Amino acid sequence: MSARVITLTVNGRRVSCPVEPRKLLVNFIRQDLGLTGTHWGCDTGNCGACTVILNGKSVKSCNILAVQADGGELLTIEGLAENGELHPIQKAFWENHALQCGFCTPGFIMQAYWLLKQDPNPTGEVVRNMLSGNICRCTGYQNIIKAVLAAAKEMR
């Protein structure tokens, strides 16, 4: 129905945009903001490819309406590297071959980002549990766990 204008900070920049209430946040990010690094892979909020940081929390942007992000602060994969310098998590994924087709990767990186903010020194088991909301079909998770633990070490 009728569009309403939402205003939010995206990767540090303020944006204002009219959206229909029914527009999912993930579609808003991809279509209206043109930030296609955040992906979608399912209909039920299981795969986690759409994970972003909203108001400091990792959330599945396919299970949130864009209008709910009004007035909020959004961080997507595009906002992680600063001044062209890769974030340690991104570096760790690269170094540890923690991605193959890359489709699930931004979602994993954002979830890892949030996880390491909560717990800078997680055990392997904690990492496995905290990533259980993200599905990868290519890597079998082995190198993803390795990468997140390596990033944690690097960041401490």
Partner 1 sequence: MLVLDSFEYFAPTTVRQALALAEKYRGRSRFLAGGQSLLPMMKLGLASPNVLIDLNRIKGLEYIKEAGKWIRIGAMTRHNAIASSKVLAEKAPIMVEAANQIGDPQVRNMGTIGGSLAHADPAGDWGSVLIALRGLVQVTGRRGSKLVMIDKFFVNSFTPRLRSGELITEVRIPTPPRRSGGAYVKLERRAGDFAIAAAAVQLTLDNNDRIRSVGIGLTSLGPTNLRAVKAEKILTGQLPTAEVVEEAAKAAAAESKPVTDPLRGSQDYKRAMAAVLTKRAIMMAVSRARGGG
Partner 2 sequence: MAVTALFGARVKRREDPRLITGRGKYTDDIQIPGTTYAVFVRSPYAHARIKNVNVEKALKAGAIAAVAGRDLEGKIGPVPCAWVITNADIKVPKYNPLAVDKVRYVGDPVAVVVAETPEKAHDCAKLVEVEYEPLPAVVNQEEAVKENAPLLYEDVPSNIAFTWRLEGGNLEEAFKEADVVVEQRLINHRLQPTAMETRGVLASYDPSTENVTVWMTSQNPHIHRFLLSVMTGIPEHKIRVIATDVGGGFGSKIHAYGAEAVVTYLSKILGRPVKWMETRRENFMATIHGRDHMQYVRLAAKRNGKVLGLEVKAYANLGAYLSTAAPGIPTWLFGLMLSGPYKIPAIRCEVFGVLTNTAPVDAYRGAGRPEATYLLERMMDILARRLGMDPAEVRRVNFISRQEFPYQTPVIAMYDSGDYLTAFNKALEKLGYSEFRKQQEASRKKGRLLGIGISSYVEICGLGPSRAVRSTGFGLGLWESATVRVHPTGKVTVYTGGNPHGQGEETTFAQIVADQLGVPFEDVEVIHGDTGMIPFGMGTYGSRTTPVAGGAIAQACNKIIDKGRKIAAHLLEASEKDIEYRPGMYSVKGLPDKKVTIQQVALASYAAGANELPQGLEPGLEATAFYDPENFTFPFGTHVCTVEIDPETYMVKILKYVAVDDCGKRINPMIVEGQIHGGIVQGIAQALWEQAVYDENGNLLTATLTDYAVPTSADVPEIELDETVTPSPHNPLGVKGVGETGTIAATPAVVNAVLDALSHLGIEHIDMPLTPTNIWKVVEKTKSAREIK
Tokens 């569009």 -> residue: 3
Please identify, using beta-carbon distances, which residue of 41 and 72 lies nearer to partner 2. 41
- Residue type at 132? S
By CB under 8 A, is residue 90 in contact with partner 2? yes
Phi, psi (degrees; rounded to nearest 5) at 39: -110, 170
Q: Write each residue from 76 to 115 as x if it is in contact with partner 1 (CB under 8 A), else as -, in one continuous string.
A: -----------------------------------x--xx
Q: How far apart are the C-alpha atoms of 1 and 92, rounded to whole Å?
A: 44
CB of 38 to partner 2, least distance (A): 7
With H, G, I as helix, E, B as strand and everything else as coil, classify residue 96.
coil
Where on the chain is the footprint of partner 1 (CB under 8 A)?
1, 4, 20-22, 24, 27, 40, 43-46, 48, 51, 57-60, 62-65, 67-68, 111, 114-115, 129-130, 132-133
